[in-house]
Each structure stands twice: as structure tokens, then as C-alpha cells.
Amino acid sequence: MRRRKIWIVLAGEAGLRVLQHRTWLPGRFDELAREETAAARQPACELAVDAAGQAGDACAFRPAAVDPGVERGVADLVNQAAAQGLFDGLMLVAPPRALGALRRALGPAAAGLLIREEGRDLLDLPEHARSARLMAMLRR
């Protein structure tokens, strides 16, 4: 089995991460870059008091979105790394809209190394569950 370095770009509501997986180290993912969204740093629910003075939780739905500037920045990082031969394969995992934006921002060298795309947000999973899901995706 050939030793390969695979970069994985994870994007979602919580932000963006770039991981590196070395095929000779199963289940291990090293974080290369991280960017958190402003929404991820704010609580989804907060204590609210209504007109009658009753306290309760006020929860708001936050759509899964990634800042376009962050997408462009990570695409630049991936494009530069691909041009330098720093990885052998690329996997993009992001909600559909962010996935399309990331794919469009890839240069020819990085696009040629794309081995898998997955239209989902895995950033909210605990690390062990995310690692297991990524390993399953890599085996497909």
C-alpha cells in the first residue's frame, strides 16, 4: 500500500478546519488550520425574560453557513499546498452550498487531487465520532 497524505477540508456552521490524514496512521487526523465563525462563538440559546417577567430560553436557529472570505482563504491555502505537492489527495466535507463554493475556488492542481466530496456538516460531532465517519468515507 502506497503511503499517501490526504488533506480534508471540513466546513460548517462552527467554522472550518483543514485536517491531514496519513494513510499509514489509520484513524489519526492532524489539524493544520482552523477558523471559527462568529455564530459558533455565540450561544445558540440565551436566557430571556418575557413581558410578564417569566424567564425562559430564547433559542434561534442558525443556518449552516460559512463566510465566503473564509472559503476563499482556505481554497488559497489548499491551492498553494497542491502546487507545492504537500498532499496526494483532497476530500471536501461541507454543507451543499459551502461545498459548491469550495469546489469552484479550487485551482486545477487541487481539483485534480480531489478524491471525495460529501455534502454534510461534521464539525458538531465529537472528535471520535468525526474521526470514525471520516475513516468510513475514506474507505468508500
Tell me the per-residue pLDDT of 44-75, one tens digit each, with 9 for 90 and over: 455 555 566 665 555 444 444 556 667 788 89
Q: Which pLDDT value is given to residue 109?
A: 97
Distance from the Cα of residue 139 to its chain's centroid: 19
CATH architecture of 5-139: 2-Layer Sandwich (3.30)
Q: Taking residues 6-28, what's their average pLDDT?
A: 94
Q: Taking residues 13-40, what's their average pLDDT?
A: 88
Evaluate if residue 105 carries a pLDDT over 60. yes
Q: Taking residues 7-30, what's their average pLDDT?
A: 94
Q: Where are the domains of the chain?
A: 5-139
Q: Which residues contact 102 (CB under 8 A, 6 or more apart)?
A: 9, 11, 71, 74, 75, 92, 94
Q: CA-to-CA distance for 9 and 11, rounded, in angstroms?
A: 7
Q: How far does the chain reach from its first CA to its final CA, in angstroms?
A: 16
Mean pLDDT, the chain, as a whole number? 84
Count of Cβ atoms closer than 10 Å to residue 108 Cβ: 10
Q: E strand or H helix at 32, and its extent?
A: strand 30-36
